[in-house]
Every structure is written in C-alpha cells, then in structure tokens.
Amino acid sequence: MADLDLLNRFPRVRLMQGPTPIQRLSRLEQVLGDRRKGVSIWAKRDDLMELGGGGNKLRKLEFLLGQAMAEGCDTLVVTGGVQSNFTRLAAAACARIGLACEGVLAQMVPRDSEIYQANGNVVLDRLFGARVHILKTGDDAGEFALRRSSEIAASGGKAFLGTLGGSTPVGALGYVDCAFEIAVQSTEIGIAFDHVVIPNGSGGMHAGLAAGAALARNDPSRIRAYTVLSPSETCVAATVEKVNAVFDLLGKKDRILAQELAIDGAQLGGGYGMPTSEMVEAIGLVGRTEGLLLDPVYGGKAFAGLLSDIENEVIAPGSNVLFVMTGGSPGLYAYADALSSN
C-alpha cells in the first residue's frame, strides 16, 4: 500500500469534498455491443467537483495554493490558452479563499471566432472575479506574467506564478493523491483496472498518476495517455522529467524510464485545440449514451483514442478500463461551431 502520509508535509488548501466517484458506463457498453470486445468501461468523475464547475486543475490547485499561501502571496497569476480550464478553476479557487487572481491568456489555438475568444471559460474567469489579459498572437504569456508579478510587487503585493496547466512538481502532487485514491477505490469495488486512460496536455496529471502508481507498487505503464498538446516523443521526454521531479520532491530515489510511459500521438490531429472528427464523434457518443460531458480539447480526444484502441485491440479484449473524466465542459460552448455535426 502507498504511504498515505507522504503528502501530509505539503501545505494544502482543501478545494474538494472528498474522493470523486467511479462509475461504470453501462449504457455506453450496451450501445457499443460487440464493438466493445468485452472491455468494461468505467469513469473516474474528476469532472464532478463542487467548485468552479470542477475538473482536474482543482487537484493541482490544492497544493499550488497551499504553496502560495505558505509563501505569503496575495495574488495568483496564471498563464494558459484563451480557453484555459486552469484559469477558470484558479479564479474560482481564489474566490473561495480570498486571493486575487489574474489570468494571462495566450493565443495557443488559431481560432479567432467571437465564441472562442469570448465565450466558454472566458465568461467564467471574469464571473469568478479574475482579471483577464487576453494576449495577441505571438505575445509571450510567461513574460507578460513575470511583468505583472513585478508590477504587483511594486504596489506592495506578492504574486504567485502558476505556469501552464499548473504542472509543476507541487501541482502534480494532486494526482499522486489521485493515484492513491484510485488504488483504494479499486480495492473497494473489487476491480483491478488494466488501464487508466487519460489525456496528456502539460503532463502534470500523467506525471502525478505515474509517480503515485509507482509508489503504490502499481505498474505506471498501465496508464494509457493520448497527447493533445505536443508530438508523442516530446511529450514522453517532458513527462519523464516531470515524474522524476515528483520523486525528487517527495524525497524518493525512484526513477521512471521512457518505456514505462504509454503515450499515444494518434489523437493529436492538427495540434492543440484543433478539432478532429473522432473527437466530435466521441463527445456525441458519450453524450447520447450516458448524458455525460467530455470536453473538445482533452477528454474528447482521449476518449476517441480509447474507442479506437478497443477496436484495434491495443487494449486487450475483456480488459477493465478506467477513463479519467477531467472536466472542461465550458470549452464546449467555445467550440459550438465544430460540434454542430452531432
């Protein structure tokens, strides 16, 4: 069993009410029929949290905001793309604990429609009281954020910088905890999951889950990720580094090797935030059969990968699969034009 006290020495702000549920997607299985090849499909509902609409960034923010508070910061400055879920959840979390929040949003996706630039997450960032800076194409979010934190310092405040996706080793601790949570739930429901399926964007979730799995004596290669941001080789290299940085932070001598990370580049399509027809289909299928929401940038692509790998038997017939639903449904409104074929 994992050493559950391992995380206790890190400052943490509680933003979740407890473990997120795991449920079987029975109606989807029924509709897939023979096409599911006896695979049982379960969902870990990390989209189901009571703050800010929920999603995977809240787990990271528990530790990131813990660090920010411990350092005496009064403002959180985060960077992301225009439809950043991290910024939305950072804004909601800051609202809850009484910190100021600023989002520096870069043009990471070539979509200049009004709904992409102003709807979805952007509406909610502002609603949760964050100050939002939407940059022009080519402007560097990291530089802008550094400049803002110096300005905040000059006016007597103290900013904490949350970079892309919150995927620092500290942020990834949220998913080390989630790996332990899954191990406990798996014992409770009596199902040993052969695969845990996730999207990999900035890699923090994957890094935390892989480190947590290794520490709980589970095989990290049973985590099956679909990269949605960088080509697979870049993604593997970046994720290896992050997993090892998490081990370092935890004072562990463990190391992970590239071949222990299963990262598939087949769902990247035209790149980050670029819709694919498989993503549109996967979102429609899960919506029609389960009444559940996947998002167009992460979960939709990862679920498309899951369906494809069940079909081509990369996921062995009869396996038990846990798909981590990571939230991001506000992004659906920003992609309404791409989803209309459903």
Ligand X SMILES: *Cc1c(COP(=O)(O)O)cnc(C)c1O
Q: Site residues (CB under 6 A) for ligand X?
A: 55-57, 85, 165, 167, 199-206, 295, 298-299, 326-328
Angle between helices 204-215 and 57-70 (to 10 degrees): 90
Q: What are the tokens at 90?
A: 């950072």
Closest CB to ligand X among residues 36, 327? 327
Beta bridge partners of 102: 77, 131
Q: What angle do CA 163, 166, 168 make, to 5 degrees?
A: 90
* Residue linked to tokens 């949350």: 162
**Residue 48 φ/ψ, nearest 5 degrees:** -110, 85
Least distance from C-beta 296 to ligand X, angstroms?
Answer: 10
Q: Which is nearer to ligand X, 41 or 90 (CB)?
A: 90
Give the C-alpha separation, 337 to 332, whole Å: 9
Contact (CB, 8 A) for 174 and 60: yes
> Nearer to ligand X by C-beta: 200 or 218?
200
Residue listed under structure tokens 């009869």: 318
Report in angstroms how near the CB of residue 293 gets to ligand X at its nearest.
Answer: 10
**Identity of the residue, 87 or 152, whose beta carbon is nearer to ligand X in the bound complex:** 87
In angstroms, rounded to a whole number, what is the distance separating the alpha carbons of residues 33 and 36? 6
Dihedral angle over CA of 263, 47, 29, 182, nearest 10: 70
Of 26, 40, 84, 232, which is the active-site residue?
84
Task: Tell me whether residue 152 or residue 209 sits nearer to ligand X (CB atom).
Answer: 209
Active-site residue, 84 included: yes
Nearer to ligand X, 36 or 59 (CB): 59
Cβ atoms within 10 Å of 66's Cβ, excluding its own: 17
Amino acid at position 129, single letter: G
Residue nearest to ligand X (CB): 328
Shortest spacing between CB 335 and ligand X, in angstroms: 13
Catalytic residues: 84
